[in-house]
Amino acid sequence: MINFPGSYESGDVTFLLKVVPIAETDVAEKERLIQAGTHYSEMLSAEKSPSPAYLSLFHRALGMNAQKMAQHIADLAATLSKRPGREVVVVSLARAGTPVGVLLHRALAVLGRKSVHYCVSIIRDRGIDWQALDYICAHHADTDIVFVDGWTGKGVITAELLTSVTSYNKSRHKNVDPSLWVLADLAGSATFAATEEDYLIPNAVLNSTVSGLVSRTVLSERYVQPGDFHACAFYGDKRDEDLSRFYVDELTPHVLTALSFTRPVRWTADKRRSLSRMSHSFVSAMMAQYDAERNHVKPGIGEATRAMLRRVPDRLLVQDNTAEDVQHLLRLAVEKDVVVERIADMPYRAAVIIKSVVE
């Protein structure tokens, strides 16, 4: 399905995904299967409607961090607007990058720079969707493509993007830049970032209802045949709960105001190396302290939230349990009966350790 905007306005984004009905797997069973060797991209679990108390935390986060996020969007947009090329082809990574991509696309239009916005799938250990890149390259100059996401955790997706796009370029004789642009780079892996601060980017709080009613992407022979885009479910039954347009519409005026106060994005090699050392040190310490596998350590508010929503967490670690940015995580911990530990000298505001469920 081409020209599929999810629940966003037409023109805000085109999802290059194959929409299919996907059987849902119970979260506990999905966790068992993942730890037994099934790839996470082959399954989806049901996305439950948030409780009123939890939903109120999303609105609180938006009120609290809208201006900060808007300034970061504006800074990235101003830097992108000076990029050479006929246009800026914003390619967001489903799903955390999607609202960021919508806002960048809108900001670039105000700055007078031609742009278009696609959303594509990238999957750890499987790579980016080459079929989607083929489509984009057939309609735009390969050198105009810019990859966008919300944040980095350990830098796994950044590394996946580099490896996969490098292989794609070699195979297709293209020159797609594998650089990644994000709002917050905790791992020091992004090429460009507006900040290293571990703050609550509000769309991290929710799933499809703030991402165009599109599910996490799926790559399985049951749903994806040769020549297909990676798959997703579209949750049309959640239209009454959908906040996707509301979210970007609420942020847009803040972004437009912030465009008058932009700062050039300069993400130095020294900054990246420092953040990378901190990330590796923290993850290694948590692996040793909790006897956890590397993939079971989820640092930062964004990754911790994903883990609390989608996985079976063993414990939630917080730097300060009174901080506004972690209140949604503490609410999830109560709802899911997850142990909470405070580690005051932790370099991130939150982290999650995934429970080992397979002996």
Separation CA 50–CA 115 (nearest Å)? 34
69-114 pLDDT, tens digit each: 999 999 999 999 999 999 999 999 999 999 999 999 999 999 999 9
CATH pick for 14-261 out of 1.20.1530, 2.60.120, 3.40.50, 3.30.2000: 3.40.50
10-residue block means of pLDDT along the chain (359 residues)?
A: 86 97 91 90 91 93 97 97 96 97 98 98 96 98 98 96 98 98 97 96 96 96 95 96 98 97 89 97 97 96 94 96 96 95 97 88
Q: What is the pLDDT of residue 265?
A: 85
Angle 166-93-9 (CA atoms, 0-180°, nearest 5)? 135
Q: Where are the domains of the chain?
A: 14-261, 269-354
Which two three-digit tokens encode residue 299?
């640092």
Which two three-digit tokens encode residue 55?
């939903």
H or E stretch including 83? none
Separation CA 115–CA 182 (nearest Å)? 17
Query: Which residues are within 8 A (CB) of 104 and not within 5 positions of it... i.e. 6 or more apart?
Result: 73, 76, 77, 80, 90, 115, 117, 148
Angle 142-148-153 (CA atoms, 0-180°, nearest 5)? 135
Cα–Cα distance list, 94 to 25, 117, 123, 188, 216 (Å):
20, 12, 9, 21, 7
Residues facing residue 315 across a β-bridge: 339, 353
Separation CA 322–CA 320 (nearest Å)? 5
Which two three-digit tokens encode residue 334?
């109560």
Q: What is the pLDDT of residue 129?
A: 98
Domain 269-354 falls under CATH 3.50.50.60: no
Q: What is the pLDDT of residue 359?
A: 60
Tell me the residue ranges of DSSP E strands in 40-198. 88-93, 115-120, 122-123, 127-128, 145-152, 180-185, 192-195
Query: Is residue 119 within 8 Å of 13, Cβ to Cβ?
Result: yes
Q: What is the pLDDT of residue 1?
A: 56
* Residues counted in the chain: 359
Separation CA 202–CA 200 (nearest Å)? 6
What are the DSSP calls for 137-153, one per residue? HHHS-GGGEEEEEEEES
Separation CA 122–CA 189 (nearest Å)? 16
Q: Which one-letter DSSP state was computed for residue 92?
A: E
Give the strand order in the sheet containing 180-185: 14-15, 115-120, 88-93, 145-152, 180-185, 192-195
190-236 pLDDT, tens digit each: 999 999 999 999 999 999 999 999 999 999 999 999 999 999 999 99
Residue 341 three-state SS: strand
Separation CA 184–CA 201 (nearest Å)? 9
Residues facing residue 92 across a β-bridge: 119, 148
In 236-322, which residue ranges form alpha helices assigned H by DSSP?
244-258, 269-290, 301-310
Q: What is the pLDDT of residue 2?
A: 64
